[in-house]
A and B are shown apart, each in its own frame.
Chain A
Amino acid sequence: MIENIKFNSSYNFAFIDETTKKEIRRKLLKAICIPGYQVPYSSPEMPIARGWGTGGLHLTLALIGKTDTLKMIDQGSDASVNACNLRDFVQLTTNCKTTYDTNEATLIQTRHRITEEKLTDKQIMVFQVPQPEPLRRVERYEYKTRQMHAESDYAKMWLTLYEAFVKWGDVMHGAGYPVMVNGRYIMSPSPIPRWDVPNLNMADCIYLFGAGREKRLYAVPPHTRVEPLEFEDVKFHIENFKDVKCESTGYNIAYMDEMYQDDGITKKFYINDSNFLDKMIEKIAVNQHSNKYINQLKKNEQ
């Protein structure tokens, strides 16, 4: 049996070797400098399967320090199985503090949600991205989409939005609604619901995006314009929950989960963001995002 010292001893701090971490951090700096631009990076293999958050993990592990507090969420929930597994992995290799509390975290890794609570300039949010290329639905080849971005050739994208409107009376993009970043690059915000998209705009925190399988990372720096694609007369809108209420709190200005009951007919709604829901139930003060869509909902409520 061969012996491998590295295999027997514990892994490097945050699992990835320092050279690769440095490479990822340098690519992140580039991404910050060119908001919305997809930077190719090494994307080393992880002991987590491709498509299960490896891109997010690369960024988290490259950034995390001994004093960081990590929050890990999957579809809005801290306790979802894959979130638990990823949190355990980061915790085991860094011994960092972990939390469910959005305010307490310095680093938040998320899959498909932005927290309902607003993030500060002391916080970084890392998104797991399955498909970083917003143009992939209109152009299947990578070498062509890179060219299209370089030339700001977004005609095909606008055309599909228009076609959807003609066919169905609305732009039918659900999660992962394409956005224009800093007036230059069309970017996939990862499959967050439309509810979350306006919260990317002019934020105080840093939003970082990691697509492990596709080996791309990109960023939305603080105070950057992020606008959902829309027409003058056909506007972007967020999901509609005005006719339902959260079963636990009675609140409805938050993204909701829909749960069918055992009878298969009746359904109940609950606030999706589990930490936000817990705080609402325990009547702890929350600092919710404000944007023109949410503000409008609140105004209608009064």
Chain B
Amino acid sequence: MAYVSVKGGADAIAQAKELVEYYRLKDKTKPIEIEQIKSQFRLAIDKIMGEGSLYAPEYAAIAFKQMEGDVLESAFVLRAFRATLQRKYYSDILDTRNMFVKRKISSSFREIPGGQVLGPTRDYSQRLIDSTKYNESEQEIENFLSSFEGKIEKEKMQEITSFNKVIDLLKAEGLLMPAESNYDKTVKDVTLEAVKYPAPRSVTLQMLARGETGGLMTLAYSSMRGFGDGHGTIGELRYGSVKVLVSDTQGRKRYIGNVNLTECEMITKINTTKEAKIPYFAIGYGLVLGQNETKAICMSILERGIRSGKSENPANNQEFVLYHTEGVEAMGFTNHLKLPHYVTFQSGLNNLRESVKRNTNIQDEKMKVYKEMAKQFQK
């Protein structure tokens, strides 16, 4: 009986689970250690933590290993784990002015206070495949590290302080657009309540920060290419570590650790506010976990676009952008198409057949063709 095949569900799941584990391990290579993933797949881990909305490098590395290197699936695992943790505190507002800067650049000015600091980046190196990586040995790694560390001037390290932001220069001159007086400053927590539109800016920022890098890039690119306000200028892009403080019940500030963040301030075209006719530069803001510059830049473009109020472009429309850049949800829904839909399909089929029957002439003609085709097929 045909139903037998449908009834093997539980067994089939168990077998599939085992098989996919076999696929992960079948070549009998050495198991990758979590420490290795954490350090050698730094950027993947950063992406997973950002999209997974949880700053936990160890767990991100476990997820990465478990999911055979699928970054979005790993982010999904991290999100599901995150949902089981109770939110006990909110941190104080992070002070990115006091970031320990590892990289900061501005495309708006040739020179900025503290200088352009390239930091760790591959932006200016050729993307040629490096076949020496095929046989990278521990000895080579050690040699590289000892020669690199030899070049560091330890006493100069102490002198590094924090840097003011580039936008402070413009602000001092009165060229930055003041915050719109009418904008909704309510702070929501998108992990605890459903979003209703139009949503306050806090929701935009949170959801973009959790959004999927590729999704954010697609929409931000559309905005730059012609379906939006065009090409902004990076006021400042900085990456570094920031202290996280939490106020305890007595109001004392407790230091709980550092997080690495990428922050982007995008200066967009000259605007005037409704209240005053003086022109200003408007600014878009992006802040993401870890080093993910593409995402931070795209976030700042979209954040600005959403606030512009010109929602005829998809990338400027809050509801459109926030719903569709939510990668974990988008991936889940896309993959649900693999679930059986025969009941729903039958209902549509039934409608279509009856509609066809209503026009029997067409029906007869078509049946002739189909029968002919079936005969051909059998031959």
Contacts and interface: CB of A to CB of B under 8 A. Distances in A.
Given A141-B319, A170-B351, A49 B332 contact: yes
Given A11-B84, A79-B8, A175-B348, A141 B336 contact: no
A40 B193 contact: yes
A265 B374 contact: yes
Contact of A52 (B79, B193, B332): B332
A277 B13 contact: no
Interface in A1-42: 1-2, 6-7, 11-12, 15, 17, 19, 40-42
A80 to B, nearest CB: 6
Contact of A193 (B198, B336, B344, B354): B344
B83 A46 contact: yes
Given A46-B83, A146-B196, A169-B355, A80 B340 contact: yes
A172 B351 contact: yes
A160 to B, nearest CB: 15
Which of under 10, 10 to 19, 20 to 34, or 35 or more describes the interface residues of A? 35 or more
B83 to A, nearest CB: 4
Interface string B331-354: 111111001111110111111001
B2 interface: yes
B80 interface: yes
A84 interface: yes
B12 interface: yes
A174 B350 CA distance: 8
Nearest to A170: B355
Contacts of A221: none
B7 interface: yes
A215 B346 contact: no
Interface string B347-375: 11111001100100000000000000010
A112 B336 CA distance: 13
Contacts of A256: 346
A257 interface: yes
Contact of B329 (A6, A193, A213): A213
Contacts of A7: 81
Contacts of A272: 343, 346
Contacts of B196: 40, 142-143, 146
Interface in B38-83: 56, 58, 76-77, 79-83
A240 B350 contact: yes
A257 B344 CA distance: 10
Nearest to B81: A7
Nearest to B77: A47
Nearest to A76: B343
B58 A2 contact: yes
Contact of A239 (B329, B341, B350): B350
A106 B339 CA distance: 26
29 contacts: A1-B58, A42-B194, A44-B83, A45-B79, A45-B80, A49-B335, A51-B329, A51-B334, A75-B342, A79-B8, A80-B9, A83-B9, A84-B10, A88-B13, A142-B319, A173-B351, A174-B349, A175-B348, A192-B343, A193-B347, A213-B332, A216-B194, A239-B347, A240-B350, A258-B349, A264-B377, A268-B2, A272-B343, A274-B7
Interface of B: 1-3, 6-10, 12-13, 34, 56, 58, 76-77, 79-86, 191-198, 319, 328-329, 331-336, 339-344, 346-351, 354-355, 358, 374, 377
Interface of A: 1-2, 6-7, 11-12, 15, 17, 19, 40-47, 49-52, 54, 74-77, 79-85, 88, 111-113, 130, 141-143, 146, 168-170, 172-176, 191-195, 213, 215-216, 239-240, 247-248, 255-259, 264-265, 268, 270, 272, 274, 277
